Structure 1
Amino acid sequence: MSFPAAHGPQRIVCLTEETTEWLYLLGEERRIVGISGYTVRPRRAREEKPRVSAFLDGKIDKIVALEPDLVIGFSDMQAALADKLIRAGLNVFITNQRSVAEILGTMRLVAGLVGAHERAEAWVAEWQQGALALAEAARRWPRRPRVYFEEWDEPKISAIQWVSELIGMAGGEDVFPELAVQRMGRDRVVHDALEPARRSPDLIIGSWCGKKFRPEHVAAREGWQQVPAVRDGRLHEIKSCDILQPGPAALTDGLQQLHRLCADWAAHAAAAAAPTT
């Protein structure tokens, strides 16, 4: 794979949303010639760029016709799609980031490919400042909420590593930290339907990979009625486009939403614990 040293790839197809959003943030959207059909960030990308792929598959002939000099995707789940594109003679770059550090590393790598290193570092520095401010605010809370994050409902899949880490930054505690470090979704399956209830989460947050989260279905699960989150009605959705895309969205909107939910719980918990006069 080789590109003009001073300019990098000029015609990029983005198989997932986070690369599209990142290139727009860097002011390098002119390089994008094709995007994923699941792209919602930024909104104008859907109007400006042709949609050429889903998540697991894509329109190979259409992608080839765009004459990209680089195709960028994410996840081992895109291996079959990447194989088709490579066999079609295209340069393909697939990342597999799982943690916040890996997300930042991938963003820096993509920025380097398009000669936007300085802009990327400025964005990362500003984000780090904001994340530290949220963490500092959370340190003042008397207690941090225990959070059960559900990525899928049947089977139940708990938070991927970057989500677990963002929960910690936001002021919460992931109730399944031992599963979060497992890189594959199949290894984050909660096989015992009652185990989340036993871990007594104060907050339940659902993000069902593009399917609408149904808090009433969660609350009705057998044996879950005495879970603090269910008892207190603290079941919330964060849309998957805001938290399950390993790029800018998760680090900004996803983190902010997690913090708001945790902060609201902490404020109510503090008020309930305050002595009455």
Structure 2
Amino acid sequence: MPRLPQRIVCLTTETVEVLYAIGEEDRIAGISGYTVHPPRARKEKPKVFAFTSGDINKILAVQPDLVLSFSNLQADIACELIKAGVLVHAFNQRSVDDILAMIETVGRLVGAEAKALELVTGLEELIKGTQAVAAALPRRPKVYFEEWDDPPISGIRWVSEMIGIAGGDDIFSEAATRQSARERIIADPLEIARRAPDIIIGSWCGKKFRPEKVAARQGWADVPAIAGGQLHEIKSAVILNPGPVAIREGLPALARLIQSWAASA
């Protein structure tokens, strides 16, 4: 199929993950230096860009016939590539359904729709199974997901949705649909304490979660999650990448924490 792209550059990890998952990794000519899934991609593929910065000439040097980018954060590099005559497809997945749609679209772009749909079906089955278990829980915990600590930033939309799928209630669900992290900053950290989460989950992008620092925050001593020792970490590389891994690994991790809380409550 000569019209299909043969040399794809992926500027984020999730499209790399999808192409490997559907057996089309040979089409990848370059990746972002922040690629983490699958780990073998970092050894097998040239790193041609960071996330929002880099040298466009490194991308052009691998002669891509398609570049896959993500969101407004990469709008500038997408614009430069388009000016250079490169075909660019910009994804902007923000919800669980968006992630599934992205997988299907990547499959169509490379002529592997059946494999992509098979991947999506497996993830949908995982979602339905998780929902069924959650429906049987005796009660739902209030969950605070912290994407960053200083200033505190609440969880993005797909994380909030997965908390609900797993049987919990995101205490800042009203903020989850806001696109940028800046819009999800919690101006008054005591508002978190006032909402009394039963579980606190940290996923500080780029650094290790420090539960002892959270527990020591002024005015937080009576927060149920702190009193009950329910402070946990889910690695950002797992849950904050809007690709298959978020559903395949992030959702079960959320479900385990919520089910454990329910069993001990």
- Pick the TM interval, shorter chain: over 0.9
Aligned AA for 2:89? F
Note if contact 2:66-2:86 (Cα within 8 Å) is conserved in structure 1. Answer: yes
**What is the match of residue 261 of structure 1?**
257
2:22 and 2:115 in contact (8 A); partners too? yes
2:94 is matched with which residue: 87, 95, 98?
A: 98
Matched with 1:139 is 135
Give the Cα separation in 2 of the matches to 1:260 and 1:236: 11
Does the alignment pair 1:108 with 2:113?
A: no
Indicate if the aligned counterparts of 2:193 and 2:219 stay in contact, CA closer than 8 A: yes
| Offset at residue 171 of structure 1 (A) | 1.2
Q: Distance in 2 between matches of 1:29 and 1:67?
A: 16
The AA in structure 2 aligned to 1:93 is H
2:212 counterpart (216, 231, 243): 216
| Paired position in structure 2 for 1:273 | none
Q: Distance in 2 between matches of 1:152 and 1:245?
A: 15
| Amino acid in structure 2 at the alignment position of 1:203 | I
Q: Give, in angstroms, the shift of residue 86 of structure 1.
A: 2.4
Aligned to 1:135, the other structure's residue is in SS state: helix
- Give how far 1:184 is off: 2.3
**How far is the alpha carbon of 1:57 from its aligned partner?**
1.1
Shift of 1:129: 1.4
Q: Distance in 2 between matches of 1:58 and 1:91?
A: 18
Residue 157 of structure 1 corresponds to: 153
Q: Quick one: distance in 2 between partners of 1:101 and 1:219?
A: 34
The runs of at least 4 aligned residues of structure 1 exceeding 4 Å deviation read none
How far apart are 1:87 and its partner, in Å? Answer: 2.9
Check conservation: 1:108, 1:120, Cα contact below 8 A: yes
> Whole-Å Cα distance in 1 between the matches of residues 177 and 42 of structure 2?
34
The one of 217, 236, 240 equivalent to 2:236 is 240
212-221 vs 28-37, which deviates more? 212-221
**Which of residues 207, 211, 216 is equivalent to 2:203?**
207
Shift of 1:146: 0.9
Q: Which amino acid aligns with 2:72?
A: D
* Alpha-carbon distance in structure 1 between the residues aligned to 2:225 and 2:84: 50
> Which residue among 113, 120, 135 is the counterpart of 2:116?
120
Instruction: Return the match for 2:50 from 48, 54, 57.
Output: 54
RMSD of Structure 2 on Structure 1 (CA): 1.3
CA distance, structure 1, for counterparts of residue 87 and residue 158 of structure 2: 28
Which deviates more from structure 2 when the two are superposed, residues 82-91 or residues 131-140?
82-91
Instruction: Give the alignment's TM-score, normalised by structure 1.
Output: 0.92
User: TM-score scaled to structure 2, two decimals?
Assistant: 0.96
Q: Report the number of matched residues.
A: 265
Opposite residue 168 of structure 2, the aligned amino acid is G
Tell me, yes or no, if the aligned pair for 2:49 and 2:58 is still in contact at 8 Å. no
The 5 Å alignment of 1:34-53 reads: 34-53=30-49
1:107 maps to amino acid: I
User: Aligned ranges for residues 8-19 of structure 1 at < 5 Å?
Assistant: 8-19=4-15
Question: What letter corresponds to residue 12 of structure 1 in structure 2?
Answer: I
Are the equivalent residues in 2 in contact too, given 1:138–1:171 (CA < 8 A)?
Answer: yes
Q: Which consecutive residues of structure 1, in runs of 5 or more, have no partner in the other structure?
A: 270-277
8 Å CA contact retained: 2:123, 2:244: no
Q: More deviation in 222-231 or 15-24? A: 222-231
Structure 2 residue matching 1:211: 3-state secondary structure: coil
C-alpha deviations, 1:207-231, integer Å up to 9, x for none? 1122221111111111111111111
Q: CA deviation at 1:54?
A: 1.2
Query: Within the alignment, does 1:24 sit opposite 2:20 as a pair?
Result: yes
2:247 to 245, 248, 251: 251
Alpha-carbon distance between aligned partners in 2 of 1:194 and 1:84, rounded to the nearest angstrom = 43
